[in-house]
Amino acid sequence: MTESQGQGTRPRAAYAGDVDPRTAFDALAATKDAVLVDVRTAAEWSFVGIADLSAIGKDIVMAEWQSFPAMTRNPAFESDVAAALKARGASAQSPVYFLCRSGARSRAAAMAMTAMGYARCFNITGGFEGDHDEKGHRGHVNGWKAHGLPWRQG
């Protein structure tokens, strides 16, 4: 996709890029207007847990990308996130970090918000729980939990 077809312009990035959980946490701590958006389902927040940013004086935007159990796309996602970002004093230039279970939904969410005009949307690789380990369990290989970052039960 280009900003202007046929005029020799560069393709516009679908989102700002991928960052590991530690990089995201450090940026959230260091950058006043940086925001974390958890795009998992309410069931995941309740039963699996959520990132805890209280030690750095922040809270999380919790906005379902898809709704359980049908996993249908939330049509209000962009407007809900935009309103939550505005309420936190974030602008279209603020860094916004998107988190899901493993990094797939959060990538799609980062792309959607970039398309809405937010220039610095990042996907957190490995998500909250990360990939399966050799025993089929999540939370040990990569992701927010595996990096030892603060979290709590929802």
pLDDT in tens, 99-126: 999 889 999 999 999 999 999 999 999 9
pLDDT at 2: 37
- The angle formed by the CA atoms of residues 76, 122 and 50, to the nearest 5 degrees, is 70
- The angle formed by the CA atoms of residues 63, 66 and 72, to the nearest 5 degrees, is 145
Average pLDDT, the chain: 91
Q: Architecture of domain 17-152 in CATH?
A: 3-Layer(aba) Sandwich (3.40)
Residue in the block written with tokens 């990569």: 142
In degrees rounded to 5, what are phi and psi of residue 97?
-110, 125
Handedness of CA 4, 16, 99, 59 (dihedral sign): negative
Q: Which one-letter amino acid corresponds to residue 31? A: T
Please tell me whether residue 34 adopts helix, strand or coil conformation.
coil
The encoded tokens of residue 52 equal 């805890």
Distance between CA 73 and CA 57 in Å, rounded? 31
> Does the pLDDT at position 11 exceed 70?
no
Query: How is the chain split into domains, by residue range?
Result: 17-152
The encoded tokens of residue 27 equal 């940026």
> Does the pLDDT at position 30 exceed 60?
yes
C-alpha R_g of the chain = 16
What average pLDDT does the segment 135-152 reach?
A: 90
Residue in the block written with tokens 């939330």: 74
pLDDT at 52: 98
> Does the pLDDT at position 65 exceed 70?
yes
Distance between CA 28 and CA 94 in Å, rounded? 11
